Structure 1
Amino acid sequence: MRGLAKSESGGDPSSFSTANVGKASGSTLDEAIFNLYHTSDRRIYWGHISFVIFSEEAIKTGGLKYTADFLDRYRIFFFITKDSIKDAMLISPIENISVAFSKLSDPDDNYKQSSFIPSINLREIIINIDEPAHQVAIPQLKLTEQWNSQEKKKKDLLMETVAIISENKIKAILPKKMLNGGRWFNKDFVRDNVIIFPETKNDVFIVIYDEKNKITPVIEKNEKVRFDIKMKV
C-alpha cells in the first residue's frame, strides 16, 4: 500500500512524483502495520491510501478478504503482481506529476482513452466476493520498459492480464488474447481499438466507441447454454 500526500507549503513540484516505500512484516496484517509504525517519524494517516498491490502468496493466505475487512475507503483500487511489489511501488508517473495521478492511483483516466482492463475498487470487490460465484477479477501488473527518459530507460507498469480469484485461490489468469473479446462488454467501456483482418495485407486499424450490446442466454435441447450477442458501435 502506498500513501498519497503532498506538501501544502510549496516547494519543488517534482517532489510530488517521488515515492518512499516502507517495509514491515508480521504474522498478521495488524502486527506488520504496528511494526511499521515503530520506524515512522510521524503518525501514519491511512486515509491517503489509494491502491493496494497483492502478491500471489498474499492471495493464497487470505489477504484479499482480510484487507477488504480492514480497510473502509471504497475508492481504493486493487491489483496483483508476480513481480517485485517494492519495484512496482517505487515507479513514478511518466510525466512529472503527483503520484495521485498515476495509473494505479487514478486508473479510470487511462481507461477512458483505451478501455481494455477496467479497474476494481474495494466496494466492487466486497460485492463480488459476497455474491455467487464468489469470485473477483483483479488487474495483474507487469514491470516493463516501454518508455525512455533523457538519462535511461524508465520502468513502467503494464496491465494486459487479469487474475480471477475465488476462495483465496487464483482460479485463472486471463491472457490478453481472451480479454480482447471481453473488453467490449465491460459496463464502463468508453473506446478502444481493433484490427480487422490482422496479419494480412488488408489489415485495417479502427477505433470503436459508443458501444451498446445485448446478451441473451439460450438453453439448447441438450441443456447446454450458449449466448446470442448483438453489438452496435
Structure 2
Amino acid sequence: MMTRKNIVFLLFVLTTALFTSGCWDVTEPQRMYYINAVGVDFEDNQYKVYLQIINFADVAKSEQPSGDVAPAEVGYAEGKTIEEAIYKLYRSSDQEIFWGHMRYLLFSERAMENERSVPVIDTFIRFRETRYHIWVYCTKDPIKDVMLVTPILKNSLTSSKLSNPINTTKQESFIEPQNLRNVIIALNEPSHEVSIPYVTIMKDWETAEEQVDETTFSGVGILTKDGFKGFIKNSAARGNQWMNNDTNRGEITFKLEDGERDYLTVDLDKLDVKVEPIVKNSDQVTFDITIHLHATLNGFKGNINSDEVRANIIKQVKKEITETYEEGLKLDVDIYRFSEYLYRSNVRTWKKIEKDGKIPLTQDSIGKITIQVTKINPGRKTYEETIEE
C-alpha cells in the first residue's frame, strides 16, 4: 500500500520526466546537411542556384579533413525564383538542410544585372535561419568551379578565404570584404552603390604532382540598387585600400633614383583617412583627401634617404587613388562614396545637386590629396644600412 509520501515522490518523478523529455522533435546534428555557401547565376529567365554542402565532420575543425569523404558537394537546380530552385534541391536531399552555418553568397555577373540580385538578398535577410554576417562576392568564372575549389593543403572549407576572408586581410587588405549587412546599408545610403569583392580562379600554387586551383580577390564589382555597373579589376582597384580606415596593411613598390637596388617595396599601415567636402557657390563641390599612414621598409641594401622614401610613397599612393577614381568615372560609379560624405556633412547642398542619391562627379571633383607619412620603420636591422634623415 502506497503512503502519501510515496505518492508525492512518484508524482514528482513523473512531472520531472515530462518536462525533461521535450526534445523528441529535435533533429540530431549528424542527420542534417550544413550549407556553407550559395551561388546564384541567371540565364534564360531562370535563376540557377548552387548549394555547397560541407562534410559535417569538418565543421568544427580547420585542419585537413578525412581523405575518404569529400569535403563538399554542390547541388544545382533552376527556377523562376531562387526559392523555387531551392525547393527543388530539398526534394533531392537525403537529410534536412540547415542554413545557420551559411558563410558566403556568390553572384555571377548575370545574376547582378537588372535588379536580379535584390530578390536574392531579400530572401536571405528574411529567412530566420540565416545571419546578416554572410560574406558576399561576385565572379565571372563558372559558379560551380569556384565553389568546388579546395583550400590550400586541403584544409576544411570553413577556413577557406571565401568562408573567412578576415584571415587574409590581416596581411594584405587589397579588397575590403563585404557582408550582407554592409551591402544592405550601402544600397540604402547615398550613393546607393557598393563594391563587392571580385573572385577569380588562379593556379598560383602547386603540389609535386600538379598545379592546383585557388581563389583570389582580383578587384571589385559595383552593385547598385538598380543593377550592376561593372568590374574594376586588378591594379586599377588598388586605390580602394588607401581610402579605407579598415585597411590593415598594404604594399607599394617604386623605383629608387639611387642605390644598389632599383626597386623598393614598402608596407603601409595605420591608415587614418579623412574626406572633407568643400562647397563653393552653394552647388559646386570638391573633396579634399587627407591620409596619415606609417611605412615599413623591406629588404633594402645601402643607405636610403627618408625624404626620397616619403616622396615616392606619396606619389604612388596619390597615383593609385586617382587611377581607381577615374576607373569609377568610366562606369559612372562613385567609387569612394563622395555622395555619402556630402550627405553626412551638408545635406542641404546634397539635396540641391543630387540625382537618384548621387551627386555629379568629374575628374576635377577631387581637390587636394594630402599624404602624410608620419613614421618610417626600417624593419629589423640585420646589416649596417640605414635610413638617412
Which TM-score applies when normalising by structure 1? 0.89
Deviation at 1:220, TM superposition (A): 4.8
Match of 2:279 in 1: 219
Provide closer, same or farther for how the CA distance between residues 3 and 185 of structure 1 changes in structure 2, counting only shifts above 3 A.
farther
What is the 5 A alignment of 1:15-164? 15=67, 18-72=71-125, 73-164=131-222
CA spacing shift, 1:17–1:118, aligned 2, 3 Å:
farther
> How far, CA to CA, are the matches of 2:207 and 2:240 in structure 1?
34
**1:155 match: secondary structure:** strand
Residue 224 of structure 1: how far off its partner (Å): 4.6
After superposition, the C-alpha distances for 1:191-223 in whole angstroms (9 at most, x for unaligned) are: 121112389963211111222232222235692
CA drift at 1:23: 0.3
- Specify the code of the residue in structure 1 equivalent to 2:76: K
CA shift digits 1:56-88 (9 cap, x unpaired): 111125342212211131111111111100000
Cα distance in 1 for residues equivalent to 2:257 and 2:213: 29
Residues of 1 paired with 2:150 and 2:117: CA distance?
25
- SS in structure 2 at match of 1:156: strand
Please, which moves more after superposition, 74-83 or 181-190?
181-190
The aligned residue for residue 240 of structure 2 is: 182
- Look up the SS of the partner of 2:75 in the other structure: coil
Q: Does 1:202 align with 2:249?
A: no
Cα 1:132/1:224, change in 2 over 3 Å: closer
Spell out structure 1 runs of 4+ moving beyond 4 A.
198-201
CA contact (8 A) 1:14 1:96 kept: no
Relative to structure 1, the CA distance from residue 112 to residue 89 in structure 2 (aligned partners, 3 Å threshold; closer, same or farther) is same
Aligned CA RMSD, in angstroms, stands at: 2.6
Moved more, 54-63 or 199-208: 199-208
1:14 partnered with 2:66: yes
Larger Rg, first or second structure (1 or 2): 2
User: What is the match of residue 231 of structure 2?
Assistant: 173
Task: Give ranges in structure 1 of 5+ residues lacking alignment.
Answer: none
From the superposition, tell whether residues 199 and 98 of structure 1 become closer, same or farther in structure 2 (CA, over 3 Å). Answer: farther
Distance 2:250 2:107 in 1: 28
Give the count of matched residue pairs.
Answer: 232
Determine helix, strand or coil for the equivalent of 1:67: helix
Contact 1:17 1:97 survives alignment (8 Å) = no
Q: Which moved more, 1:203-212 or 1:36-45?
A: 203-212
Q: Is the 8 A contact 2:55 2:71 kept in 1?
A: no
Q: Which residue of 2 aligns with 1:232?
A: 293
- Aligned-pair distance for 1:117? 0.2
Q: Distance in 2 between matches of 1:220 and 1:203?
A: 42
Alignment CA distance shift 1:224-1:118 (3 Å): same
| 8 A Cα contact 2:196 2:222, kept in partner | yes
Distance 2:98 2:77 in 1: 16
Q: Secondary structure at the match of 2:92?
A: coil
- Which residue in the other structure is 2:332 paired with? none
- Between 14-23 and 128-137, the greater mean CA deviation after superposition: 14-23
Once the two structures are TM-superposed, the CA of residue 163 in structure 1 deviates from its matched residue by 0.7
Gaps of 5+ in 2: 1-37, 39-51, 126-130, 295-389
CA distance 1:187–1:66, change in 2 (3 Å): farther
Deviations 1:33-74 (A, max 9, x none): 000111111111111211111111111253422122111311
2:240 alignment partner AA: G
The answer to which of 125-134 and 60-69 deviates more is: 60-69
Q: TM-score, normalised by structure 2?
A: 0.55
Q: Which amino acid is the alignment partner of residue 173 of structure 1?
A: F
After superposition, give the CA deviation of every residue in 1:72-120 in whole Å (9 maximum; x if it has no partner). Answer: 3111111111110000000011123211110000001101111110110
2:173, 2:241 within 8 Å by CA — same for their partners in 1? yes
Segment of structure 1 superposing worse, 102-111 or 195-204? 195-204
Identical aligned residues as a percent: 31
